[in-house]
């Protein structure tokens, strides 16, 4: 019996010690991404401090409890001749170990309450941004600025996920954590952030800002942030939202106020350019070329890049009755979506040219050979 005992002891000791020590050394390894980020806002600093304080308290409680147990295991063993004592309760002790945890919890609760109250103070913001989650992309609306755009997973990551590229995740900068259009925010500005969703629940989370918040269809949640350092901060959707939940990253680019102003002007210009030309006739080749790109960013997540969909979940567009049938039905489903399914109304999301291009593309790609083309003006007329 003595062999298993010593090995048991050793291993138990190892488990207890190695885990408490793992917890203890955590802060020292912060660069190695073992611990919560300190973040770049006053709130995120408070949250980090709170986290560390509770973590330490837990470590101390753990050490006290486990050490007592270990002592007992080492000394009060039958094969060491220990004889069982007879006591089986002690009111004083029991009161004591009810009271001490209460005290500990109060010590934790006070700063926690303060931080929470600070987090709720959303008033007096300088700018307000409305963020809408879609399956599977984010829409950013700079309220009062007439600026709205979508942000989806960057093309290089997408290609790896879709297996259309031979690259390995390690070959790509910020695999899964990069987007086409980052959301640009000014530093040293109180920014109010509203979250909502268009289809299912998502959650907007950038760890460096110190919080996450659910984006719930039909409701608005509000929150705020105040970024103190310029930089690029990455995050992800943090609420299961279907197939591509893992593929809707968030990138915040924090810049100086002046740069922010320039960016606003430039971006608005770019968007205006992209939707100019809606009033002219487009050729099939032009529409096909544009359609392919827009299809990849907006539709391929469900209907797949090859148009074959996922049987039983997302219908194939190849030879589909709608994509090869009457053009009105096709326009209708893309513009208005289909209520109660994952198929969203794209009329509100894309401009006339993009919609015309997608529809044209779908009707003439992957062996669909309807041959007709839909002009942006036709789309405009349906609005």
Partner 1 sequence: MSDSETYFIPEPSPWPVVGSLALFISFVGGSLFLNGSAPMFGSFILGLGIAAIIYMYYAWFSDVISESLAGRYNSQVDVSFRWGMAWFIFSEVMFFAAFFGALFYARVLSVPWLGGEGAGFLTNAVLWPDFVPEWPIDVIPNFSKFTASVYDDVIHAWGVPAINTLILLTSGVTLTFAHWALKKNNQKGLVRWLFVTVCLGIIFVYFQAGEYHEAYTELNLKMTSGIYGSTFFLLTGFHGFHVTMGTLMLAVIMFRAMKGHFTHENHFAFEAVAWYWHFVDVVWLGLFIFVYWI
Partner 2 sequence: MSEAAVHDDHHDHKPTGIGRWLFSTNHKDIGTMYLLFSLLMFFVGGAMAIVIRAELFQPGLQFVNPQFFNSMTTMHALVMIFGAVMPAGVGLANWMIPVMIGAPDMALPRMNNMSFWILPFGFTLLLSTFFMDGGAPAGGWTMYPPLVLQTGNAFPFLIFTVHILGISSIMGAINIIATVFNMRAPGMTFMRLPLFVWTWIITAFLLIAALPVFAGAVTMLLTDQYFGTSFFDAAGGGDPVMFQHLFWFFGHPEVYILILPAFGIVSQIIPTFSRKRLFGYTSMVYATVAIAFLSFFVWAHHMFTVGMPLAGELFFMYATMTIAIPTGVKIFNWVATMWRGSMTFETPMLFSIAFIVLFSVGGFSGVMMSITPVDFQYHDTYFIVAHFHYVLVTGAVFALFAAAYYWLPKWTGHMYDEGLGKLHFWTSAVFVNILFFPQHFLGLAGMPRRIPDYAVQFADWNMVSSLGGFAFGLSQLIFVVVVFKCIRGGDKVTDQVWEGARGLEWTLSSPPPFHSFTVPPKVTEESAHG
Q: What is the β-pairing status of strands 127-134 and 191-197? A: parallel
Stretch of 162-170, 223-231, 235-243, 286-294 contacting ligand CUA, by CB under 6 A:
235-243
Q: How far is CA 68 from CA 4, 59, 72, 98, in A?
A: 22, 14, 6, 17
* Among 43, 241, 254, 355, contact with ligand CUA (rule: CB under 6 A): 241
Task: Pick one of partner 1, ligand CUA, partner 2, none as the site partner of residue 214 (Cβ within 5 to 8 A by kind).
Answer: partner 2
Q: Does 360 bind partner 1 (CB under 8 A)?
A: no
Quick check: 333 binds partner 2 (CB under 8 A)?
A: no
196 binds partner 1 (CB under 8 A): yes
Query: Which C-beta is closer to partner 2: that of 170 or that of 273?
Result: 170
- 274 in contact with ligand HEA (CB under 6 A): no
Spatial neighbors of 337 by CB under 8 A, at least 6 apart, are 343, 344, 345, 346
Helix (H, G, I), strand (E, B) or coil at 326: coil
Q: Which is nearer to ligand HEA, 36 or 129 (CB)?
A: 36
Rounded Cα distance, 361 and 365, in Å: 6
Nearest partner of 210 among 181, 152, 252, judged by Cα: 252
Q: Cβ 34 to ligand HEC, closest distance in Å?
A: 35
Stretch that binds partner 2, among 137-145, 159-167, 282-290, 351-359 (CB under 8 A): 159-167
Contact range with ligand HEA by CB under 6 A, out of 100-108, 130-138, 183-191, 355-363: 100-108
Q: Which is closer to ligand CUA, CB of 16 or CB of 300?
A: 300
Span from 160-168, 263-271, 319-327, 368-376 in contact with partner 2 (CB under 8 A): 160-168
Query: CA-based angle 216:203:120, to the nearest 5?
Result: 80
Q: Is 305 near partner 2 (CB under 8 A)? A: no
Rule CB under 6 A: which of 133-152 touch ligand HEC? Answer: 135
Residues of this chain, 183-212, that bind ligand CUA according to CB under 6 A: 202
CB 336 → ligand HEC: shortest distance, Å? 11
If one asks whether residue 153 binds partner 2 (CB under 8 A), the answer comes out as no
The answer to whether 117 contacts partner 1 (rule: CB under 8 A) is: no
Told to check if 115 binds partner 2 by CB under 8 A, we report yes
139's enclosing H/E stretch is strand 137-142
Contact 115/50 with Cβ under 8 angstroms? yes
Q: Which stretch binds partner 2 (CB under 8 A): 193-201, 253-261, 278-286, 374-382?
A: 193-201
Q: Which of 153, 176, 185, 323 binds ligand HEC (CB under 6 A)?
A: 323
Question: Which residues on adjacent β-strands are paired with residue 233?
Answer: 252
Strand partners, 128: 192
Cα end-to-end distance, the chain, whole Å: 84
Cβ-proximal residues to 367 (8 Å cutoff; 6+ apart), any chain: 318, 319
Q: Hey, which residues between 221 and 250 contact partner 1 (CB under 8 A)? A: 222
Of 237, 302, 356, 374, which one interacts with ligand CUA (CB under 6 A)?
A: 237
Q: How many residues does the chain have?
A: 383
Please pick, from the candidates 134, 140, 224, 247, the single residue that binds partner 2 as defined by CB under 8 A: 247
Residue identified by tokens 């210009």 is 269
How many CA atoms lie within 13 Å of 221's alpha carbon, on the beta-carbon side?
20
| Chain residues 52-81 in contact with ligand HEA, contact rule CB under 6 A | 61, 65
DSSP 240-272: --STTGGG-EEEEEEE-HHHHHHHHHHHHHHHH
Neighbours of 98 (CB within 10 A): 9
Instruction: With contacts defined by CB under 6 A, name the span among 94-102, 142-150, 153-161, 326-334 that binds ligand HEC.
Output: 326-334
And the tokens for 225? 């942030």
Comparing CB distances to partner 2, the nearer of 112 and 288 is 112
Report residue 48 as tokens: 């980090």
DSSP H/E element including 364:
helix 352-364
Residues 281-320 interacting with ligand HEC (rule: CB under 6 A): 298-299, 301-303, 314-315, 317, 320
Q: Which residues bind partner 1 (CB under 8 A)?
A: 130, 194, 196, 218-220, 222, 339-340
């Amino acid at each position: 019996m003595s062999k298993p005992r010593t090995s048991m002891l050793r291993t138990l000791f190892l488990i207890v010690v190695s885990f408490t020590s793992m917890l203890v050394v955590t802060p020292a390894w912060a660069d190695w991404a073992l611990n919560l980020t300190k973040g770049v806002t006053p709130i995120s600093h408070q949250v980090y401090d709170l986290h560390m304080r509770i973590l330490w308290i837990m470590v101390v409680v753990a050490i006290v409890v486990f050490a007592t147990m270990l002592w007992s295991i080492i000394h009060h063993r039958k094969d060491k001749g220990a004889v069982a004592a007879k006591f089986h309760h002690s009111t004083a002790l029991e009161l004591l170990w009810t009271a001490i945890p209460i005290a500990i919890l109060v010590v934790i609760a006070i700063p926690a309450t303060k931080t929470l109250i600070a987090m709720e103070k959303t008033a007096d913001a300088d700018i307000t941004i409305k963020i809408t989650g879609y399956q599977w992309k984010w829409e950013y609306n700079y309220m009062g600025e007439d600026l709205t755009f979508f942000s989806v997973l960057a093309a290089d990551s997408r290609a790896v996920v879709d297996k259309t590229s031979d690259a390995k995740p390690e070959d790509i900068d910020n695999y899964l954590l990069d987007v086409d259009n980052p959301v640009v925010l000014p530093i040293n500005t109180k920014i109010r952030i509203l979250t909502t969703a268009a289809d299912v629940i998502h959650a907007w989370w950038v760890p460096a800002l110190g919080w996450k918040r659910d984006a719930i269809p039909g409701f608005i949640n509000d929150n705020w942030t105040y970024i103190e350092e310029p930089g690029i901060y990455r995050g992800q959707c943090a609420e299961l939202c279907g197939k591509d939940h893992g593929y809707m990253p968030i990138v915040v680019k924090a810049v100086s106020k002046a740069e922010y102003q320039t960016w606003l002007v430039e971006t608005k210009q770019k968007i205006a350019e992209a939707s100019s030309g809606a009033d002219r006739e487009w050729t099939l080749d032009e529409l096909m070329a544009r359609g392919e790109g827009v299809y990849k960013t907006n539709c391929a997540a469900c209907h797949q890049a090859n148009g074959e969909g996922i049987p039983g979940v997302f219908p194939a567009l190849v030879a589909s009755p709608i994509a090869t049938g009457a053009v009105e039905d096709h326009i209708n489903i893309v513009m208005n979506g289909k209520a109660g399914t994952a198929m969203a109304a794209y009329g509100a999301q894309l401009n006339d040219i993009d919609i015309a291009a997608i529809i044209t593309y779908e009707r003439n790609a992957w062996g669909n050979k309807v041959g007709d083309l839909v002009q942006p003006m036709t789309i405009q007329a349906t609005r």
